[in-house]
């Protein structure tokens, strides 16, 4: 299965808390997703003052690409603030965060599961 075929349209207005209630003030809106593979594209919104400090440094087992569409996001480990138009491509296992967004931000996020080397590409 793959993501659905979708022509230009207004995405549904249903924003959900990212990771359940684990991170306060962080919302996600799924734009397209493959429930079998986990391949997904979403918008992520940090309210002003939102942070991921309680979760510590983030490491996941999938590819993640992120583009900041508006606002700013500070990586507290690196001590760097990233702004509108900046892009990240994170392979599985790459450490990042925790994050704080003083003024809030909105990001486009693309998630791709790590390929299984035993499975042939199609």
Confidence of residue 3 (pLDDT cuts 50, 70, 90): confident
Looking at residue 20, what is its pLDDT? 59
The helix (H) or strand (E) run that includes residue 16 is: strand 16-17
Instruction: Indicate the length of the chain as a whole number.
Output: 122
Q: pLDDT tens digit string along 64-121?
A: 999 999 999 999 999 999 999 999 999 999 999 999 999 999 999 999 987 654 444 4
How far apart (Å, rounded) are the C-alpha atoms in residues 121 and 99? Answer: 35
Q: Going by C-beta distance under 8 Å and a sequence separation of 6 or more, which residues neighbour residue 28?
A: 15, 16, 17, 18, 42, 43, 44, 45, 109
Fold of 26-113: Jelly Rolls (2.60.120)
Residue 45, CB half-sphere, CA atoms under 13 Å: how many? 10
Residues of the chain by 3-state class (helix, strand, coil), percent to 5: 0, 45, 50
How far apart (Å, rounded) are the C-alpha atoms in residues 10 and 58? Answer: 31
Mean pLDDT of the chain: 89
In angstroms, how far is CA 10 from the centroid of its own chain?
20
pTM of the model: 0.86
Confidence of residue 21 (pLDDT cuts 50, 70, 90): low
Q: pLDDT tens digit string along 44-68?
A: 999 999 999 999 999 999 999 999 9
Domain layout of the chain by residue ranges: 26-113
């Amino acid at each position: 299965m793959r993501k659905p075929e979708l022509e230009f349209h207004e995405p549904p207005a249903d924003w959900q808390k990212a990771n359940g209630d684990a991170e306060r003030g962080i919302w996600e809106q799924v734009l397209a997703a493959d429930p079998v593979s986990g391949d997904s594209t979403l918008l992520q919104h940090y309210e002003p003052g939102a942070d991921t400090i309680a979760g510590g440094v983030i490491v996941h087992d999938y590819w993640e690409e992120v583009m900041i569409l508006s606002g700013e996001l500070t990586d507290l480990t690196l001590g760097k603030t990233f702004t509108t138009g900046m892009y990240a491509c994170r392979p599985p296992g790459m450490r990042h965060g925790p994050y704080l967004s003083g003024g809030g931000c909105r990001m486009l996020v693309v998630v791709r599961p790590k390929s299984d080397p035993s499975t042939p590409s199609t």
